[in-house]
Amino acid sequence: MTNLTIHSSERTLFGTDGIRGIANTWPMDSQAALMAGKAIAAWFKQDQRRHKIVIGKDTRLSGYMIETALASGLVAMGVDVYLVGPLPTPGIAFITSGMRADAGVMISASHNSYEYNGVKIFDRSGFKLDDAAEYQIEQYMKQADSLEKYLACPQKLGKAYRIDDAVGRYVVYLKSSFPRALTLDGLRIVVDCANGATYKVAPEVFSELGADVHPVGVSPNGMNINLGVGSTDTALAQRRVQEIGADLGIALDGDGDRLILIDENGKIVDGDAVLAFVGRHLLEHGKLTNNTVVATVTSNLGLDFAIQSSGGTVERTDVGDRYVAQRMREVGSNFGGESSGHLIFMDESTTGDGTLAALQILQVMQESGKPLSTLASLMEPIPQITKNLSIIRKIPFSEMPEISNLTKKIEQKLKGRGRVLLRYSGTEDLIRILLEGEDKTQLQVYADELTDILQRMLGE
């Protein structure tokens, strides 16, 4: 809706994945949510027709508060609201697109503990808003007076509706993404739902497709989301896989948009390994469009080597699954993701979806006839050293020739088998340092040299 070019650093409320904060404090209190509702409505309300926006949430106690205030702000602007209750983030993208709604709003803080909450926004096509749109919504929130002109007169106030069959619609959609010629009969699967938004959906999907499902983290009480369960704490699911001799474990996060896999031996399989073996499988079957996998700048260089060995390429973008989705659309790729487990299968979904991704991975396992541990071994990770350095100033790298020259020198010594990545945190006073190469001892020497210079230039 705008031609503005906005960088993520220009936004102060929106971070990598929406607005996020501690519940009942700005910007996650009732007042902020009310303003956010009005601001979102003002952004999407560009003409006089009746508008509708879908609102979903995960299982956090504060979701009731945010949902009510957000809906109030939208209704006050003459927008009709459709409340779907607890549903995974990708489910909101699906429902929004299917209902031809103007936008979808998900209330969730993803993998964070219950004290936090957040707001993520999807456009009418089910894609997350770009930086420019989020920037404009921020401006509305910061200039409350500018919203007054959009307030509806009494006879044009919006209405609020409840959608009772959203979970059923989403379950049917997920099952339809799995080939009819295949079933999950005979597979024993541990499904950890993190006491979050997938607690109903995921076990039902896998069970109805024939799997012997052993659920974990399916008893949400408003305060136990991600607590000792889910993708951020997989120990329980790993033990369960080993105890029952499961074929694999699937650990989802609080809002269900990403997953961490556990192989039949109880070992973690991260997102990079999945990108590698699924990407290669798609390449070998002629199903990877433009022979390109999209990953972020933090994915291991071993991913590039694995995909290149099968004739494909890896395209990299900024951290954040919405940036992955954006780049996929730009280069015409149908598969991409992050090492954190956000995986996007663009032929099936517009955003990261942990349950859908698990179904696609199960399809690869069945078509290849290989267990997860064997598939995961197709990528050989390159040794990495990472470090977060506290700083007091952020200077553009282009204005620090000493750093630029040292980075080039190090990468020349790595001879194409390693790299250096420096990036500022978007939310904290940190610089993130990443080095990859085959000799970890030498990498540590390079890391120490970079750290000393960066501390001198950016620290106290």
From its phi and psi, is residue 88 left (phi > 0), alpha (psi between -120 and 50) or beta? beta
Contact 36, 142 (CB under 8 A): no
Q: What CATH homologous superfamily does 269-367 map to?
A: Alpha-D-Glucose-1,6-Bisphosphate, subunit A, domain 3 (3.40.120.10)
Contact 129, 106 (CB under 8 A): no
Residue 49 is encoded by which pair of tokens? 């027709």
Locate tokens 């290849």: which residue?
Answer: 368
One-letter identity of residue 209: L
Please, what is the average pLDDT of the chain? 93
Helix orientation angle between 30-44 and 63-76, rounded to the nearest 10 degrees: 40
Over residues 208-231, mean pLDDT: 98
Given a cut of 60, whether residue 16 has pLDDT beyond it is yes
- For residue 49, CA distances in Å to 46, 80, 156 come to 9, 11, 11
Portion of the chain with pLDDT greater than 90, in percent: 86
Over residues 291-311, mean pLDDT: 96
Question: In the chain, how many H helices and how many E strands?
Answer: 14, 19
Residue 1 banded pLDDT, cuts 50, 70, 90: very low
Portion of the chain with pLDDT greater than 70, in percent: 97
CA angle 167, 270, 234 (to 5 degrees): 65
- Which residue, among 352, 209, 205, has the nearest Cα to 274 in the 3D structure? 352
Does residue 404 carry a catalytic annotation?
A: no
Q: Tell me how far apart the alpha carbons of residues 294 and 317 are, in angstroms, rounded to a whole number.
A: 7
Over residues 376-396, mean pLDDT: 93
From its phi and psi, is residue 52 left (phi > 0), alpha (psi between -120 and 50) or beta? beta
Q: Do domains 8-164 and 384-458 have the same CATH topology?
A: no
One CATH from 2.60.120.10, 3.40.50.1110, 1.20.950.20, 3.30.310.50 for 384-458: 3.30.310.50
Given a cut of 50, whether residue 7 has pLDDT beyond it is no
Given a cut of 80, whether residue 45 has pLDDT beyond it is no
Given a cut of 60, whether residue 257 has pLDDT beyond it is yes
List, in order, residues 6 or more apart from 343 with CB less than 8 Å away: 258, 259, 271, 274, 275, 278, 335, 336, 337, 352, 353, 354, 357, 360
**Among 110, 333, 339, 349, which one carries the catalytic annotation?**
110
Domain boundaries, the chain: 8-164, 169-265, 269-367, 384-458
Contact 40, 24 (CB under 8 A): no
List, in order, residues 6 or more apart from 199 with CB less than 8 Å away: 59, 86, 193, 217, 218, 219, 220
Among 6-20, 76-90, 392-406, the range of highest mean pLDDT: 76-90
Given a cut of 90, whether residue 50 has pLDDT beyond it is no
pLDDT at 10 (0 to 100): 60
Bridge partners of 21, per DSSP, are: 117
Locate tokens 């508008």: which residue?
Answer: 51
Over residues 130-158, mean pLDDT: 89
Q: Tell me how far apart the alpha carbons of residues 346 and 333 are, in angstroms, rounded to a whole number.
A: 8
Contact 213, 193 (CB under 8 A): no
Helix orientation angle between 440-458 and 401-414, rounded to the nearest 10 degrees: 180
Q: Which residues of 366-391 are buried (b: 16+ CB within 10 A; e: fewer)?
A: beeebebeebbebbebbbbeeeebeb
Q: Tell me how far apart the alpha carbons of residues 107 and 381 are, in angstroms, rounded to a whole number.
A: 35
Contact 61, 109 (CB under 8 A): no
CA angle 380, 319, 12 (to 5 degrees): 160
Q: How many CB atoms lie within 10 A of CB 338?
A: 25
**How long, in residues, is the chain?**
460
- For residue 12, CA distances in Å to 22, 44, 103 come to 16, 20, 22
Q: Tell me how far apart the alpha carbons of residues 383 and 360 are, in angstroms, rounded to a whole number.
A: 28
95-104, 256-265, 344-353, 416-425: range with lowest mean pLDDT: 416-425
Long-range pairs of 283-288 with CB within 8 A, sequence gap ≥ 24: 283/307, 283/310, 283/311, 283/312, 284/310, 285/367, 287/334, 288/312, 288/333, 288/334, 288/335
Q: What is the dihedral of CA 378, 382, 383, 388, to 10 degrees?
A: -110
Residue 321: strand, helix, or coil: helix
Classify residue 127 by its DSSP letter.
P
Q: What CATH homologous superfamily does 169-265 map to?
A: Alpha-D-Glucose-1,6-Bisphosphate, subunit A, domain 3 (3.40.120.10)
Q: How many CB atoms lie within 10 A of CB 132?
A: 17
Under CATH, which architecture does the 8-164 domain have? Answer: 3-Layer(aba) Sandwich (3.40)
Residue 144: strand, helix, or coil: helix
Over residues 252-258, mean pLDDT: 97
Residue 460 banded pLDDT, cuts 50, 70, 90: low
